[in-house]
Structure 1
């Protein structure tokens, strides 16, 4: 009984610690013409508005869509709370949340026999969610405490698709990017061919085929500006846990400067 009580105590302590950690991300909202983009933002431990900081914009996957301003932190939120990272890097990290009725990327999705098929659009107008992110970042990145030479973006699944989407719409904004199990129309790649890019995918992914990521990698190679590409041969759709565990991911990202 005593052992069970201790285990339960540790379990609830871990839940509390997790919640406390994520609560360090401030809850904010951006409103434009009646539409609202909810987002969470993590400032450096000793934030000083008179200094300049790099900014990482993180785009979540479809499973974290909603309007609770919480779920978007489920995958990736803890990555930027790591004490070693926070003690060594002063970074502003932003997690916007996509609504259930929209999508980060301009992509047509059909479902046949419970299987999703993605057709990525070349060009086209941004979705409502992406439009809000574009407006928000246009405004936020003008703050004097944002280092314009060190703005980054990354995301997973739908957010990986959104990463490619925002790169082609704002190719001069980002110093580097990473995309996990995402995809894009290869005809869009030339618009972000000069942005340092690290692409991740699971070799067994049966939700978003790794062929999408490989196609972008191959196109970048053809355009003469290679991207980094990591394929986890035994991973299915969840390749983000492996990507987040890469010790060089964040050091590589932050080493890039415009």
Structure 2
């Protein structure tokens, strides 16, 4: 009987470790501190992000590529695809380096989380939104220009210093939606994805059901409604690698504030490895 009680207790303790993770937070919002942090990140020298261009049939895709500060000859490193929001559309190969992407440039991040970071820039939206009657939320549909990025990621991933088991997606707003598109289209390519204030893609639920996915959304978001992430998390029920962080008092424009001062996003991404049969 004693052994049975101990076993039950151990199972109860272990249960949360194997369940979806839902976090509800309320963050004291300090606009002055937020502005200061954004200014710090925007003042960083972006030269380490090499300027490059990918040409494919009918598409020219500007992109920046950050390499680890120091690379060891026999070592491999993760590849992070950092995806921009819709206000950064263009072809200047500059504007896609929004504050969330620039966090990878800080000395601390480059030391603690050495990685290749790919930051593409779309001239036109790689995703379009429309209300979905089936799911009763706004959903996202990928556009043809996303194919060029997939081709580029596959090409870059052949670099022998990139670990093919550690290719990650992270994006904010339109970038979060784009991250979900890429994961749906190529779940066997990406190890994990973070979508911040994104619009969901339900096109391949059966294939992403067991993927590591972290959804982050502000409950006050009127631009990309919070209900979309909530519905996706609900559809991922049973996915023990799914995580949903809700900031009750943040909106679409303030949701990145707590993400610019922490390395939790990188920590979470880097703990996952793609399982290749």
Asked if TM exceeds 0.5, the reply is yes
Q: TM-score range by the shorter chain?
A: 0.7 to 0.9
Runs of at least 5 residues in structure 2 that lack an aligned partner in the other structure: 1-37, 132-136
Matched, 1:103 2:125: yes
Q: Which residue of 2 is the match for residue 62 of structure 1? A: 86
Question: SS of the counterpart of 1:76?
Answer: helix
Assess if the C-alpha contact under 8 Å between 2:129 and 2:199 holds in 1: no
Measured against aligned partners, the alpha-carbon deviations of 1:117-142 in whole angstroms (never above 9, x if no partner) come to 94434xxxx52331110111121111
Question: SS of the counterpart of 2:199?
Answer: coil
Query: Displacement, 1:15?
Result: 7.7
Higher relative contact order, structure no. (Cα contacts within 8 Å, ≥ 6 residues apart): 2
Q: Which residue of 1 is the match for residue 75 of structure 2? A: 51
**Could you tell me the TM-score, scaled by structure 2's length?**
0.76
In structure 2, what is the Cα distance between the partners aligned to 1:16 and 1:248?
19
**Could you tell me the TM-score, scaled by structure 1's length?**
0.82
Assess if the C-alpha contact under 8 Å between 2:84 and 2:171 holds in 1: yes
Aligned length: 231
Assess if the C-alpha contact under 8 Å between 1:27 and 1:40 holds in 2: yes
Query: Displacement, 1:220?
Result: 0.5
In structure 1, what is the Cα distance between the partners aligned to 2:233 and 2:169?
17
In structure 2, what is the Cα distance between the partners aligned to 1:108 and 1:129?
18
Matched, 1:21 2:45: yes
In the TM superposition, structure 1's runs of 4+ consecutive aligned residues that sit over 4 Å from their partners are 14-20
In structure 2, what is the Cα distance between the partners aligned to 1:250 and 1:16?
19
Q: Which residue of 1 is the match for residue 257 of structure 2? A: 241
In structure 1, what is the Cα distance between the partners aligned to 2:41 and 2:220?
34
Match of 1:120 among 131, 140, 146: 140
In structure 1, what is the Cα distance between the partners aligned to 2:83 and 2:154?
16
CA RMSD of the aligned region, Å?
2.3
